[in-house]
Amino acid sequence: MGIRIERIVLREIRMPLVHFFETSFGRTTERRILIVEAISGGVSGWGEITCGENPFYNEEWTDSAWLIARDYAAPRVLGCDFESAADVAPRFTHIRGHRMACGGIEAAAWDLEARMKGAPLAKHVGGELTEIACGVSIGIQNSVPELLKKIETELQAGYQRIKMKIKPGWDVDVVREVRREFPAIRLMADANSAYTLADADRLKQLDEFDLMMIEQPLAHDDIIDHAALQARLATPICLDECVRTAHHAEQAIAMRACGVINIKLGRVGGFREAKRVHDVARKHGIPVWCGGMLESGIGRAHNIALSTLPNFVLPGDVSASKRYWKRDLIQPEVEVTAQGTIRVPEGPGLGYEVDREFLKRLTVREETCKPGATASS
């Protein structure tokens, strides 16, 4: 069939979180999210640029992503004839890094193509599962009792595993208290690069708590040190920040730097590369799960579709809309069953309707990109 994107509308929206989210690099209370609308023949495909508000998780942030998307990524795809959405990502080869900015446009192209075919996005990207397993990511809290209470609430809701954020000063002792309170739950910890190899003895103490994995303890760009650390830990390391390409996944697996990989659509630049990371991990018997970036319903719907690929065998950080937002951008909102699963929607594309009226109300800037211009409104 082929696709040709005629216009791309970039929007920045602001959405306050229902509860602050704190990682080792900082606290977020309100999201600034970029939404991509890719239009062809009267059909709109939707994407979300999943970077944070600051360049702390990776090098990207809302303002850098706006410029990259508008001035570099959109002009490279507008007006081009693509045989399929899989041909979009290679157009970004010469843009170094900035995968989230490019990936938001790439994901919109996949949604557009799926809608034009009338196919669910999950099927369109090669997914097989009809229901996906969900966990939650719980940020650093003001106190241990607050953390324990949050965990209790999420377990009551049915979530299949708990991920807690750690950092120096909020690690071994806190994990010990969580384990004492919840001896049998599936539990893991995410450090977002807060440690170095010099902390190996401390990280080794986490071995006693039977964690499913420790996510990204060391530097965001250092696979080699993770290999050295993994050799000393019994607990599997899960890489997040370090894996930006399928080639990184190959290298990390070959070096035994991890036992698990977290795949985030934006971090790797969209569906094409996410599928490749998935396939590399599968070939080597490394399980994967879908990470989250506090997405609006649009990014969440993409994550649900991605999570239907067969090697997504561990519960992901894909959870209900209401954990994040008073009201989400999509209808219906994403809901989680009492068994801690999300049923994959069967409608075309994302399978959720974008609430345009609400989107308009949340929008603080908007720009339309057309073929032949670097920036236009």
- Nearest residue relative to Mg ion (C-beta): 240
Q: Which does 159 bind (CB under 5 to 8 A by kind): Mg ion, ligand OSB, none?
A: none
CB 226 within 8 A of CB 256: no
Catalytic position from the list 163, 167, 264, 275: 264
317 binds Mg ion (CB under 5 A): no
Given the complex with ligand OSB, which of 137 and 308 has the nearer CB atom? 137
Given the complex with Mg ion, which of 215 and 225 has the nearer CB atom? 215
The least distance separating ligand OSB from the CB of residue 265, rounded to whole angstroms, comes to: 12
Return phi, psi of residue 367, to 5°.
Answer: -145, 140
The least distance separating ligand OSB from the CB of residue 81, rounded to whole angstroms, comes to: 35
The least distance separating ligand OSB from the CB of residue 185, rounded to whole angstroms, comes to: 17
Q: Contact letters (x/-) for Mg ion, 206-225, by CB under 5 A?
A: ---------x----------
Task: Bin 108: left if φ > 0, else alpha if -120 < ψ < 50, else beta.
Answer: alpha
Given the complex with ligand OSB, which of 294 and 342 has the nearer CB atom? 294
CA distances to 51, 70, 220, 292 from 63, in Å? 10, 11, 21, 20
240 binds Mg ion (CB under 5 A): yes
Tell me whether residue 264 is one of the annotated catalytic residues.
yes
Given the complex with Mg ion, which of 106 and 190 has the nearer CB atom? 190
Given the complex with Mg ion, which of 12 and 241 has the nearer CB atom? 241
The least distance separating ligand OSB from the CB of residue 320, rounded to whole angstroms, comes to: 10
Interacting residues with ligand OSB (CB under 6 A): 23, 57, 137, 190, 192, 240, 291-294, 317
In angstroms, rounded to a whole number, what is the distance separating the alpha carbons of residues 162 and 151? Answer: 7
The least distance separating ligand OSB from the CB of residue 23, rounded to whole angstroms, comes to: 6
Q: Contact letters (x/-) for Mg ion, 177-206, by CB under 5 A?
A: -------------x----------------
Given the complex with ligand OSB, which of 91 and 98 has the nearer CB atom? 98
295 binds Mg ion (CB under 5 A): no
Tell me whether residue 165 is one of the annotated catalytic residues.
yes
The least distance separating ligand OSB from the CB of residue 220, rounded to whole angstroms, comes to: 10
Catalytic position from the list 117, 150, 163, 165: 165
Q: Which does 22 bind (CB under 5 to 8 A by kind): ligand OSB, Mg ion, none?
A: none
Q: Which residues are catalytic?
A: 165, 264
Which residues sit at the interface with Mg ion, rule CB under 5 A? 190, 215, 240
